[in-house]
């Protein structure tokens, strides 16, 4: 006998039903039978281990409440969109990552419990606003499936990765007036896209993968806040921007990025997540600084930043211990960080700069090992107060050594020092032991001059 309500009997609570269980089909048939006599629920299918729902559940055209909490579902039944009478759905404590776009037509729905799911879509910022906002969002997604035009303007979205992954055939994408900080790399999968508009967001870096969208004809971004591509590129035609980004996209595969002479003022931000690079050339640009995050490119074996306007290189560069080639020549450097001494795999180390005094000029073209040795000995001398600069090819005592007031010993054997200059502050403050064996012609002498 049909009644006006139906609940699963208590013994069912212990059943473990899966999508392959014939008993689940029986349960669904039973519910459908009640549907034919316009049964109003609640219909409870909670905590019985359901993995998938049978599509027949979409035939319960009079259902108002559905409780599926505490099961093992990862996807939800699209056909529930046919049950337009639903006012309450509980799918808490499952493994659902997204809601079906077709659920957007459930306009009578006032309660939707999705707590304790790894849900990404709709995004959290919309779910916090309530069911109405989530349904509106889903309807927009549903419309985009039919038209290949996605319009999510003004929804305060922060992340759009999940929604862009729903339909790779999109032709037009409007994401203006949101709070998006970065476009996802999977945007490169939109191989038919013609229009992309992302103004009034917080996007500063365009992903390299956007360069793979070769059908893109119209690109609207906030040019005044974009830092990558650089200003002189971002104002160019779309084809120029895409070509620039494709260089980075290709480099993610080849691990080889050559930006020689490309007029960069800053190290491209889009490059900093390309941690698999092995070859990087930024030579002959107009770089004025190098971020410490360059050390994140830990697979680099070749790095060339010569011919720029760098006044310093970060100490973090010393963490790139896989480097075999490093050129920082022809910049405006005055000294090198002693942390570079850790680059023991270097076979080529070019440092020649007009203003560079540490290491001293006589070492600028001496090769990797003498430079590394000098940096190591300076660090060791500062740490121990004993400075051993034997066999360092010095012509005179480096000024940075003379400024160290707490040295107790200074060793200068097998150099070419002709004049030893001891500052008065150095000679008076501590006892100084000099051991000198000069590799000069025997007829030459050295002199000690104090001041």
- Per residue in 53-65, pLDDT (tens digit) is 888 888 888 888 8
- Give the residue-averaged pLDDT of 380-397: 90
Rounded Cα distance, 386 and 430, in Å: 12
pLDDT for 212: 96
Confidence band for 27, pLDDT divided at 50, 70 and 90? low
Task: Specify the higher pLDDT residue, 409 or 144.
Answer: 144
3-state secondary structure at position 304: strand
pLDDT over 70 at 364, yes or no: yes
- Give the residue-averaged pLDDT of 101-117: 95
Pairing status of strand 348-350 against strand 43-44: unpaired
pTM for the whole thing?
0.72
Query: For the range 221-229, what are the long-range contacts, defined as Cβ-Cβ under 8 Å and sequence gap of 24 or more?
Result: 222/198, 227/266, 227/269, 228/204, 228/268, 228/269, 228/270, 229/268, 229/270
Report DSSP state, residue 334: S
Q: What are the tens digits of pLDDT across the range 55-98?
A: 888 888 888 888 888 888 999 999 999 999 999 999 999 999 99
Pairing status of strand 279-281 against strand 302-304: parallel
Domains annotated for the chain, with CATH where assigned, are 1-142 (3.80.10.10), 148-253 (3.80.10.10), 255-384 (3.80.10.10), 389-451 (no CATH)
Confidence band for 137, pLDDT divided at 50, 70 and 90? very high
Taking a C-beta distance cutoff of 8 angstroms, is the pair 103, 131 a contact? no
Cis omega (within 30 of 0) for bond into 381: no
- pLDDT above 70: percentage of residues in the chain: 82
Confidence band for 45, pLDDT divided at 50, 70 and 90? low
Rounded Cα distance, 211 and 201, in Å: 20
DSSP letters of 54-100? -GGGGG-TT--EEE-TTS--SS--GGGGG-TT--EEE--SS---B--
Alpha carbon of 49 to those of 36, 88, 94, 150: distances in Å?
27, 20, 10, 36
Q: What are the tens digits of pLDDT across the range 169-226?
A: 999 999 999 999 999 999 999 999 999 999 999 999 999 999 999 999 999 999 999 9
Alpha carbon of 125 to those of 109, 136, 140, 159, 306: distances in Å?
19, 13, 16, 9, 46
pLDDT for 323: 97
- pLDDT above 90: percentage of residues in the chain: 66
Report DSSP state, residue 209: G
Task: Specify the higher pLDDT residue, 429 or 340.
Answer: 340
Q: What are the tens digits of pLDDT across the range 243-277?
A: 999 999 999 999 999 999 988 888 988 888 899 99
Q: What tokens were used for 356?
A: 């560079």
């Amino acid at each position: 006998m049909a009644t006006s309500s139906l609940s699963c009997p208590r013994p069912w609570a212990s059943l473990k039903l899966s999508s392959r269980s014939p008993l689940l089909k029986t349960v669904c048939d039973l519910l459908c039978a009640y549907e034919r006599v316009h049964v109003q629920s609640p219909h409870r299918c909670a905590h019985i281990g359901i993995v998938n729902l049978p599509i027949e559940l979409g035939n319960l055209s009079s259902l108002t409440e559905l409780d599926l909490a505490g099961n093992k579902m990862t996807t939800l039944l699209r056909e529930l969109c046919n049950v337009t009478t639903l006012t309450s759905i509980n799918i808490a404590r499952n493994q659902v990552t997204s809601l079906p776009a077709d659920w957007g037509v459930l306009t009578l729905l006032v309660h939707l419990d999705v707590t304790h799911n790894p849900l990404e879509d709709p995004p959290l910022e919309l779910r916090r606003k309530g069911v109405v906002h989530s349904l509106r969002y889903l309807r927009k997604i549903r419309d985009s499936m039919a038209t290949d035009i996605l319009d999510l303007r003004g929804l305060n979205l922060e992340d759009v990765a999940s929604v862009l992954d729903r339909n790779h055939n999109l032709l037009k994408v409007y994401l203006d007036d949101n709070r998006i900080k970065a476009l996802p790399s999977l945007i490169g999968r939109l191989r038919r896209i013609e229009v992309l508009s992302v103004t009034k967001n917080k996007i500063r870096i365009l992903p390299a993968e956007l360069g793979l969208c070769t059908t893109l004809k119209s690109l609207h971004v906030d040019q005044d806040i974009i830092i990558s591509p650089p200003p002189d590129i971002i104002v160019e035609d779309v084809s120029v921007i895409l070509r620039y980004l494709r260089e980075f996209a290709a480099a993610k595969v080849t691990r080889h990025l050559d930006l020689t002479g490309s007029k960069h003022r800053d190290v491209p931000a889009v490059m900093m997540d390309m941690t698999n690079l092995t070859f990087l050339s930024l030579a002959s640009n107009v770089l004025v600084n190098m971020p410490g995050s360059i050390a994140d490119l830990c697979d680099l074996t070749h790095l060339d930043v010569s011919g720029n306007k760098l006044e310093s290189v970060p100490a973090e560069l010393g963490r790139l211990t896989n480097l075999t080639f490093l050129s920082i020549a022809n910049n405006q450097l005055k000294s090198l960080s002693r942390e570079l001494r850790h680059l023991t795999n270097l076979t080529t180390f070019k440092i020649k700069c007009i203003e560079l005094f540490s290491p001293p000029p006589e070492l600028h073209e001496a090769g990797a090992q003498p430079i590394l040795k000098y940096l190591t000995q300076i660090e060791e001398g500062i740490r121990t107060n004993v400075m051993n600069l034997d066999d360092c090819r010095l012509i005179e005592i480096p000024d940075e050594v003379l400024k160290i007031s707490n040295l107790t010993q200074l060793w200068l054997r097998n150099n070419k020092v002709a004049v030893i200059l001891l500052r008065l502050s150095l000679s008076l403050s501590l006892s100084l032991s000099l051991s000198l064996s000069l590799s000069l012609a025997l007829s030459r002498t050295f002199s000690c001059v104090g001041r």
